[in-house]
Structure 1
Amino acid sequence: MSENAGTSTVIVDKTANAAPLGFTGLGLAAVLLSLSYIGVYPVESMIVSMAIFLGGFAQVFAGIMSWKKGDIFAGTAFSAFGLFWFSLAGLLVMPAMGWASPSSGIAMAAYLFTWGVYTFVMLIITMKIGVRALQFVFVTLFILFMLLAVVNATGNAGLLVVAGYVGLIMGLGSMYTALAMVMNEIHGKAVAPL
């Protein structure tokens, strides 16, 4: 019989909450992309870089870290939306490199509409979670995807500006969520409402 029979080992999970990283990646990438929709600057390498490194990697890392902690919602949402940003960067870069033809407006509309449907289902799930800041991010993200789908289907430039402002609001809401989570964790109490 082993000397350790009857004893148990307790493993304490000291990994941090990955959600602030995921919301930071979403927020920063969305704000900067939305400013291009509003007309502040064109879609250039800065947008592609933010899509890959903040929107993509930050959210995928947050998703993987959330899976490890057993958080199926955050693991799924951050991983999926991180991969969205990688796919968006691919849609911009692959035609420029001659690897694929540019997507048609209707193809982009289908892409964005599909992401909008996915976001809507995730929004319904946030109602059970009950965190208002999370619900705000998903409501505005859903509206953004649907507006962008219509813009790509119709070519309505005025609606693109409206989508840009919705994206800006969503991105700022996402950054608020990230920073509120960090602030509340550091202070050990609810300093910033979520």
Structure 2
Amino acid sequence: MVEAQEVITHVHVRDRTANPSPLGFTGLGLSAVLLSLSYIGLYPVDSMIVSMAIFLGGFAQVFAGIMAWKKGSVFGGTAFCAFGLFWFSLAGLILMPSLGWIEGPEPLSLAAYLFLWGVYTFVMLIATLKLGSKAIMFVFVTLFLLFMLLAVVNATGNTGLLVIAGYVGLILGLSALYTGLAEVLNDAYGRTVVPI
């Protein structure tokens, strides 16, 4: 009788997927800059804003979040997916009333929506303290401030504060773009070219 032998083999799978953060920060950055310019008064919220919210703010960040989750980053997966879905919900808040599906949000309900996103962002900001990246920390500080300012604007109707929120959003968007593009450049050159 021939005795069966158990063969144990170890397979090492190497992760060859790219860093998804630059895509996520690009989605946040470009969308935030363009929306913030409307708060400052350069142009109205129109189809360009809604399109950017859906296709870059939404899809790019959700894709980045799924890729980050696959790479084992709970923070990246959660942050990019959640904020990508924020952009989808923002587009819905603009589109659904214009399509006649439902009434637009009351200022107080929009203030509550933005306040809750601010609270969520604050908790994520606390998590960034352990990441060791000042650039990512700065993105979350300015994002938190933006949500809180917009919540106050909607609760009080203070249009002057909306312009200030626009400038904070502009700083947020540019800092997110800086972070994403710095990661691209550092990866392309194989060393730290731009500090993060």
TM class by smaller structure: over 0.9
1:83 corresponds, among 82, 85, 88, to: 85
> 1:188 maps to what in 2?
190
Residues 156 and 11 of structure 1: CA distance in aligned 2, closer, same or farther (over 3 Å): same
Q: Deviations over 1:7-26 (max 9, x none)?
A: 22111110000000000000
Q: Where does structure 1 lack aligned partners over 5 or more consecutive residues? A: none
State the TM-score, normalizing by the size of structure 1. Answer: 0.98
Counterpart Cα distance in 2 of 1:115 and 1:105? 15
The Cα offsets for residues 15-63 of structure 1, whole Å up to 9 and x where unpaired, read as 0000000000000000000000000000000000000001000000000
Local SS of the residue matching 1:47: helix
For 2:54 and 2:157, the matched residues in 1 are separated by 26
Query: Unaligned stretches of 5+ in structure 2?
Result: none
Which of these residues, 100, 113, 116, is aligned with residue 115 of structure 2?
113
Residues of 1 paired with 2:71 and 2:39: CA distance? 36
Deviation at 1:2, TM superposition (A): 6.8
Match of 2:35 in 1: 33
Against the structure 1 CA distance between its residues 133 and 2, is the aligned structure 2 distance closer, same or farther, given a 3 Å change threshold? farther
CA distance in 1, matches of 2:8, 2:66: 34
Deviating above 4 A after TM superposition, structure 1's stretches of 4 or more consecutive aligned residues are: none
Residue 167 of structure 1 corresponds to 169
Inter-partner Cα distance in structure 2 for 1:85 and 1:150: 20
Letter of the structure 1 residue corresponding to residue 191 of structure 2: K
Report how many aligned residue pairs link the two structures.
Answer: 193
- Deviation for aligned residue 1:166: 0.2
TM-score by length of 2: 0.97
- Counterpart position of 2:46: 44
Instruction: Give RMSD over aligned pairs.
Output: 0.9
Does 1:71 pair with 2:76? Answer: no
**1:145 matched to 2:131:** no
Distance 1:57 1:126 in 2: 23
Alpha-carbon distance, 1:6 to partner: 3.1
Q: Which has the larger radius of gyration?
A: 2
Shift of the 38–9 alpha-carbon distance from structure 1 to 2, 3 Å rule, reads same
How far apart in 2 are the matches of 1:91 and 1:75?
A: 24
Percentage of identical aligned residues: 70
Q: Please tell me the residue identity of whatever aligns with 2:79.
A: A
- For 2:107 and 2:9, the matched residues in 1 are separated by 64
Once the two structures are superposed, what CA deviation does each residue of 1:67-125 show, in whole Å capped at 9, x if it has no partner?
10000000000000000000000000000001110100000000000000000000011
